[in-house]
Structure 1
Amino acid sequence: MISSVLKPAVTRLIEPVAGFALRIGLTPNMVTMIGAVGVLASAGYFYPREDYFIGTLFICFFALSDLFDGTMARISQQGASKWGGFLDSTIDRITDSAITIAILIPLIAADDKLSYLGLVTLVTGLLIPYIRAKAESFGIDCSVGLAERTERLVIVLTAVGFEGLNVPYALAIGLWILAILGVITVVQRIKVVRDGLLTS
């Protein structure tokens, strides 16, 4: 939803920077890995210490690599590759899960009931792309849903960032929204796959 609206405009803005990165010898896969290491290190260091705001700033910075690597692959002489697409998708699952787990660590340590919502968001965050990939293996387009990756990332980082600014209930509200939208999106995608298989 968000990505389909904003991505074309953002891509036009970052193309010059992506072109410069290619000229100095960086590859899309290198940018993917740099961003992943940055996100993992930031989430793993700041969130368990409950340094939510500064941690979110670092994660947002490194998460920008997800915009650059795809643009770099598209405008490079080699073009996008299957390996690059697979690597990017796999790294997305790792970094998304790491962010959620890093948020869960202090919640579980404090025996906070919000940790249950965090577990729901962790599971749905893995199921949503899995269902899409499985559907596409059947030849079914399954990009539907209220909470695709961009939406989930925006919600969680906004909630955690505001929590770091001591906004009351920011993290609780964010986790409730993520859990509810995640479950709805899983159900939506399961329905699409069911309908596609029954009518094929």
Structure 2
Amino acid sequence: MLNLFARARVNRVTDPIGRWLVGCGIAPDVVTVVGTAGTVAAALWFLPRGQLIIAPWVITVFVLFDLLDGAMARARGRGTPFGAVLDSTCDRLADGALFAGLAWWALGVGQQRLVGLAALICLVAGQIVSYVKARAEAEGLSADGGLVERAERLIIALLGTFLQGIGVPYALAVGLWLLAAASVWTVGQRIVTVYRSSRSAAPAAGTAGGVS
């Protein structure tokens, strides 16, 4: 949802940085891998230890690398098919590490089983949201939009983690359960979108076959 409103504004900030990085001879794929490695390492190091204040800040820094690789691709005038697959794969790794780290903390030192359950639901539902879109696009169908996409998942999870870290009661529990419900809802939204897209594509395909 945020992608519809914030992308142009974010691009105005990241595009100059992307051009500068390209001018330095750095490849977008390198930025993608570094950002993902940093996110995974930070999530699985800080979160299970209960370091909930520093973890969101470090993770956010590395997550922002995901904005820069796209800006670099635009600066070069084109992306590559491999870069697109790598970026999508790395996004799934980073998201999985974040929610796995939260579940690890909640089921371990945090001793909050319901929060751990919510984190696991967010992990699975978030992966399915992205998978539905990728699989639909592979079939030539549309699965865009939905209540919560990657940006919303990251913002809610990281903000809830930070607030929990500074002592706001139930901040992470409320954030993750709301996110879990919204993610499951988004899976349903995308399935409906794919169904409608397939219904509209079928008559067009039938018409084309009749003409030929």
Q: TM-score, normalised by structure 2?
A: 0.90
Deviations 1:148-196 (A, max 9, x none): 1111111111111111111111100111111110010001111122233
1:126 aligns with 127
Q: Which residue of 2 aligns with 1:59?
A: 59
Q: Distance in 2 between matches of 1:47 and 1:113?
A: 17
Tell me what 2:137 maps to.
136
Supply the distance in 2 between the matched residues of 1:127 and 1:189 (Cα, whole angstroms). Answer: 10
In the alignment, what sits opposite 1:27?
A: 27
**Equivalent residue of 1:113, what SS?**
helix
Shift of 1:123: 0.8
Q: Which structure 1 segments of 5+ residues have no match?
A: none
Give the structure 1 partner of residue 208 of structure 2. Answer: none
Distance 1:111 1:159 in 2: 14
Amino acid at match of 1:195: R
Which amino acid is the alignment partner of residue 80 of structure 1? G
**Alignment correspondent of 2:209:** none
Amino acid at match of 1:129: S
Tell me how far apart the structure 2 counterparts of residues 88 and 105 of structure 1 sit (CA, whole Å): 25
Q: CA–CA distance in 1 between the matches of 2:72 and 2:197?
A: 34
Say whether 1:194 aligns with 2:185: no
Q: So what's the TM-score if we normalise by structure 1?
A: 0.95
Residues 57-93 of structure 1 show CA distances to partners (whole Å, capped at 9, x for unaligned) of 000111110110001011115x211110110000000
* Aligned positions, number: 199
Q: How does 1:8-157 map to 2 (within 5 A)?
A: 8-76=8-76, 79-109=78-108, 110=111, 112-157=113-158
* CA distance in structure 1 between the partners assigned to 2:173 and 2:39 by the alignment: 22
| Amino acid paired to 2:135 | K
What is the match of residue 207 of structure 2? none
Which 4+ residue blocks in structure 1 deviate beyond 6 angstroms? Answer: none
Is contact 2:32–2:66 with CA below 8 Å preserved after alignment?
yes
Shift of 1:111: 5.6
Query: Where does residue 163 of structure 1 map in the other structure?
Result: 164
Unaligned runs of 5+ in 2: 203-212
CA distance in 1, matches of 2:17, 2:145: 31
Larger Rg: 2
* Distance in 1 (alpha carbons) for counterparts of 2:135 and 2:27: 29
Structure 2 contact 22–75 (Cα < 8 Å) conserved: no
Instruction: Give SS of 2:53's match.
Output: helix
CA–CA distance in 2 between the matches of 1:176 and 1:29?
A: 34
CA RMSD of aligned residues (A): 1.2
Offset, 1:4: 2.0
Shift of residue 103 of structure 1?
A: 0.5
Residue in 1 aligned with 2:206?
none
SS of the equivalent of 1:52 reads coil
Contact 2:103-2:116 at 8 Å conserved across structures: yes
